[in-house]
Structure 1
Amino acid sequence: MILVLDVGNTNIVLGVYKDKELIACWRLSTDSERTADEYGIQVVDLFLHNKLDPSDVEGVIISSVVPNIMYSLEHMILKYFEIRPIIVGPGVKTGINIKYDNPKEVGADRIVNAVATREIYKRSAIIIDFGTATTFCALTEKGDYLGGTICPGIKISSEALFERAAKLPRIELIKPACVICKNTVASMQAGIVYGYIGQVDYIISKMKKEMMDLGENEPLVVATGGLAKLINQESKFMDLIDPTLTLKGLRIIYEKNKE
């Protein structure tokens, strides 16, 4: 078995692979104040709850956009699994040619998603990850990572409205039936959800044009992240949702680097 960890600003997603099958998946809150032992006890308990033996783990790989949590996570892996993890970053083989001005600036999660998309779908693609931030990444058919766009996530947008406007409440992120709404909560939901759908579709359309102007075939639009389903209900351009895209990418990168 191998253990894969995708460390985001809000959550840590953990997956356990047996060969190429994802046999367990969990989500923990990201907290840089937790110690290695606190994370270790929690992760081992998750293994035991799912009737998995932590000693069966042969390798670990971590992708992180939160540098100040890495000390605790790396020491947790060393102490509780007796394995030195692979950390996605410079020097790790991915098979992706990064065309960013400074390749070190690209978030590890974006590269992992690009690796998974190239290996699985084998065509040019726009990859959207709906996380704390929403990222849009352009990938050519031959595996060039061209760059992309970063936006505030939909939850950040919703929280900002609640925190900055004295009379507006915190709301649940659901899609109302219309945009001409007759109460404050529905009006906020319509503005945030439909407004975000419009933003997503406009960015996709612009990215498609720029990629096709470079000679690429029309790219596949692949989405991942917790709120992908909400946006996909009305989006004109999203082709498919792959909720475990990042975990798949981590497994693929592990296989490229395990020796």
Structure 2
Amino acid sequence: MGNTVTKFGVFAADELAGTWEVTTSERCTADEAWAQAARAIDMLGAPEPASAILSCVVPSLAEVWRSALGKLCGTRACVVGPGLKTGIRMRYDDPSEVGSDRVADAVAARETYGAPVVVVDLGTTTNIEVVDESGAFVGGIIAPGVALGARSLTAAAARLPMIELRAPERVIGRSTRSAMQSGVVLGEAARIDGLLDAVMDELGTDAPVVITGDGAAQVAALISHDAAVDETLTLRGLHHIWLRNRR
């Protein structure tokens, strides 16, 4: 569960069988959450799940969704957080501060691409997660996401419209919309490139880069760093963590 979108993934025989997305609701009851999860299962044509694991970055909704998933599966759902085994060492000043989505990204990236590895996760925020050569999570970067940047422009400047988040044909915009697209979309790509350069310098090595989240393919095509696009990285990370904690 992210701030903007909630993603469901159904695994069968340790393989991701399907995914489903809904808009994250700021408020909902456990029954409403159960109905959303049950609909996702139904739309995917999946059998009734036997267990569940939850990553939630909205603290007020974590217990609501844990209850809903417990009702759906008939057993208590795992929630990524303190006390759950992840299999990855946390070299972070306060590991409890690390969002569960960031942990899942780091786990899946290391399992899939080895170490070191750097993840760029595009969502409400743009997160960069860094796993060092020893396979430990050493921290990362949190910045406003591209959609948040576009909304902020429109909200703060009365004459600036909402724009489609796509790259313009040229850097120098010849209309307000294309100028904004250049600043927001190409600016985001340039920022990611610059931050990746700094991360590699600090790591002392060129690590593989993995991009996930909203618009991952578009951003991967715009940056100068070679990057793998992996849309299901976070869900697979949750599955890896579930495997370590199943009873």
TM-score range, shorter chain: over 0.9
Contact 1:118 1:141 (8 Å CA) reproduced: no
Instruction: Tell me the distance in 1 between the aligned counterparts of 2:41 and 2:52.
Output: 14
Report the counterpart of residue 151 of structure 2 in structure 1. 159
- What is the 5 A alignment of 1:6-25? 7-25=1-19
For residue 231 of structure 1, report the CA deviation from its aligned partner: 1.3
Extract unaligned runs of 5+ from structure 2.
none
- Letter aligned with residue 166 of structure 1: A
- Letter aligned with residue 240 of structure 1: A
TM-score (norm 2): 0.96
Instruction: Tell me the distance in 2 between the aligned counterparts of 1:178 and 1:88.
Output: 43
Report the counterpart of residue 170 of structure 1 in structure 2. 162
After TM superposition, the structure 1 stretch with the greater mean CA deviation from structure 2, 194-203 or 19-28, is 19-28
Instruction: Tell me the distance in 1 between the aligned counterparts of 2:158 and 2:25.
Output: 29
- Letter aligned with residue 241 of structure 2: I
Report the counterpart of residue 230 of structure 2 in structure 1. 242
Query: Counterpart of 1:32 in 2: which secondary structure?
Result: coil
Instruction: Tell me the distance in 2 between the aligned counterparts of 1:129 and 1:9.
Output: 13
Report the counterpart of residue 35 of structure 1 in structure 2. 29
Report the counterpart of residue 189 of structure 2 in structure 1. 197
Query: Counterpart of 2:222 in 1: which secondary structure?
Result: coil
For residue 31 of structure 1, report the CA deviation from its aligned partner: 1.3
Report the counterpart of residue 255 of structure 1 in structure 2. 243
Instruction: Tell me the distance in 2 between the aligned counterparts of 1:111 and 1:42.
Output: 25
After superposition, the C-alpha distances for 1:105-152 in whole angstroms (9 at most, x for unaligned) are 111111111111111111201111001001111101321111111100
After superposition, the C-alpha distances for 1:148-199 in whole angstroms (9 at most, x for unaligned) are 1110000000000001001110111011110122111111111111111110
For residue 81 of structure 1, report the CA deviation from its aligned partner: 2.2
Report the counterpart of residue 63 of structure 1 in structure 2. 55
- Letter aligned with residue 122 of structure 1: G
1:77 aligns with 2:69: yes
More strand by share: 1
For residue 36 of structure 1, report the CA deviation from its aligned partner: 1.1
Contact 1:31 1:69 (8 Å CA) reproduced: no
TM-score (norm 1): 0.92
Report the counterpart of residue 208 of structure 1 in structure 2. 200
- Letter aligned with residue 78 of structure 1: G
Contact 2:20 2:44 (8 Å CA) reproduced: no
Instruction: Tell me the distance in 2 between the aligned counterparts of 1:209 and 1:234.
Output: 21
Instruction: Tell me the distance in 2 between the aligned counterparts of 1:95 and 1:42.
Output: 30
Extract unaligned runs of 5+ from structure 1.
1-6
C-alpha root-mean-square deviation of aligned residues, in Å?
1.2
1:99 aligns with 2:98: no
1:146 aligns with 2:138: yes
Contact 2:8 2:40 (8 Å CA) reproduced: no
Contact 1:17 1:23 (8 Å CA) reproduced: yes
- Letter aligned with residue 141 of structure 1: E
For residue 39 of structure 1, report the CA deviation from its aligned partner: 1.8
> Which 4+ residue blocks in structure 1 deviate beyond 4 angstroms?
none
Query: Counterpart of 1:174 in 2: which secondary structure?
Result: coil
Contact 1:36 1:75 (8 Å CA) reproduced: yes
**How many residues are matched?**
247
Instruction: Tell me the distance in 1 between the aligned counterparts of 2:158 and 2:26.
Output: 31
